[in-house]
C-alpha cells in the first residue's frame, strides 16, 4: 500500500478534542472505526471538574465495561504541563455517564447534542466508505496511470491533494475534522479533479486540467458563500 493510499483510508480517523470553554461543538474521535468522545470534553460541557468524571468512571468501571472497552489515555493538563489521565468513551458509555448524573437541564441538553453528534459520526463513516474513499482512490489511480514511476509521481499526488483542499477552503491535516457538508464537497472536488484529468496526454497536462477545474469550483463556492 502506498503512502497516498494509506492517507486516504485513514483521513477521517482523527479529530481535535474540544478544549475551549467557549467551543460548543462536540467533536468526536474515531478509535478503530468507533466514534468516541474525550471525557475532558464531557466534563467541560457538563460544567463539572474532570476529576469528578474520572472518579465516577473508576467507581463504576464494571458498568461502563459492559458497553465496550474503557479506553484511557494520558495527556497534559492545559497550561500546567502535568500528566492527566482521561477516557475516550463510546456512545453507550456516554449515555451511561449522563444517566449517573443529575437530570438537570444542562444534562438533558447535552444528551440531545450527543445523539446528534454520534448520528453525524455514523453518517460521516457511511460517506467515507461509500463515497470519499472510492473517489479518492479513483483520483489517485488516474494520477498513477499518468505519472507512473516517474521521479515526480509522489509530488503530483501531493500537489493534487493540495488543490482539492484549496478548492474547498481547508488546510492540510483538517480533513479529519470536516463536518458533513464540507466532506460532501471533498467528494465532489475529488470526482471533479479525476474527471478533468481523464484523457490527458501526461501527468503535467492532467495536473493543469485538475487545477483549472478545481479553481473554478473554488471560485463558485466562494461566490456562493458571499451571496448566502
- Write out pLDDT tens, residues 163-194: 999 999 999 888 877 778 888 999 999 999 99
| Residue pair 95/89 in contact by the 8 Å Cβ criterion | no
Burial class (CB in 10 A: 0-12, 13-18, 19+), 131: middle
Angle at 36 (CA atoms; ends 35, 42), nearest 5 degrees: 140
**What is the DSSP secondary-structure string of 186-215?**
HHHHHHHHHHHHTT-SSHHHHHHHHHHHHH
| Residue pair 40/52 in contact by the 8 Å Cβ criterion | no
Indicate the domain borders of the chain.
28-101, 121-225
Largest CA distance in the chain: 66
Q: Determine the average pLDDT of the residues in 76-87.
A: 77
Q: Determine the average pLDDT of the residues in 207-222.
A: 92
Kindly indicate the confidence band of residue 2, based on its pLDDT and cuts at 50, 70 and 90. Answer: very low
pLDDT tens track for 139-162: 999 999 999 888 889 999 999 999
Q: What percent of the chain has pLDDT over 70?
A: 85
Beta bridge partners of 34: 31
Rg of the chain over all Cα atoms, to the nearest angstrom = 21
Q: Determine the average pLDDT of the residues in 86-110.
A: 90
Average pLDDT over the chain reads 83
* The pLDDT of residue 165: 95
Amino acid at each position: 500500500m502506498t503512502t497516498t493510499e494509506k492517507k486516504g483510508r485513514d483521513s477521517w480517523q482523527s479529530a481535535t478534542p474540544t478544549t475551549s470553554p467557549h467551543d460548543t461543538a462536540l467533536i468526536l474521535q474515531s478509535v478503530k472505526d468507533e466514534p468516541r468522545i474525550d471525557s475532558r470534553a464531557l466534563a467541560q460541557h457538563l460544567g463539572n471538574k474532570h476529576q469528578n468524571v474520572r472518579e465516577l468512571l473508576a467507581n463504576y468501571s464494571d458498568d461502563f465495561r459492559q458497553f465496550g472497552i474503557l479506553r484511557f489515555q494520558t495527556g497534559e493538563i492545559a497550561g500546567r504541563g502535568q500528566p492527566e489521565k482521561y477516557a475516550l468513551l463510546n456512545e453507550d458509555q456516554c449515555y451511561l455517564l449522563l444517566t449517573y448524573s443529575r437530570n438537570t437541564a444542562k444534562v438533558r441538553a447535552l444528551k440531545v447534542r450527543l445523539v446528534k453528534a454520534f448520528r453525524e459520526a455514523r453518517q460521516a463513516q457511511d460517506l467515507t466508505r461509500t463515497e470519499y474513499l472510492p473517489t479518492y482512490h479513483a483520483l489517485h489511480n488516474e494520477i498513477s496511470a499518468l505519472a507512473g514511476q516517474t521521479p515526480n509521481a509522489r509530488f503530483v499526488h501531493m500537489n493534487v491533494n493540495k488543490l482539492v483542499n484549496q478548492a474547498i477552503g481547508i488546510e492540510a491535516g483538517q480533513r479529519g475534522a470536516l463536518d458533513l457538508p464540507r466532506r460532501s464537497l471533498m467528494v465532489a472536488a475529488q470526482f471533479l479533479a479525476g474527471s478533468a484529468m481523464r484523457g490527458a496526454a501526461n501527468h503535467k497536462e492532467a495536473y493543469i486540467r485538475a487545477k483549472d477545474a478545481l479553481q473554478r469550483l473554488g471560485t463558485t463556492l466562494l461566490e456562493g458563500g458571499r451571496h448566502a
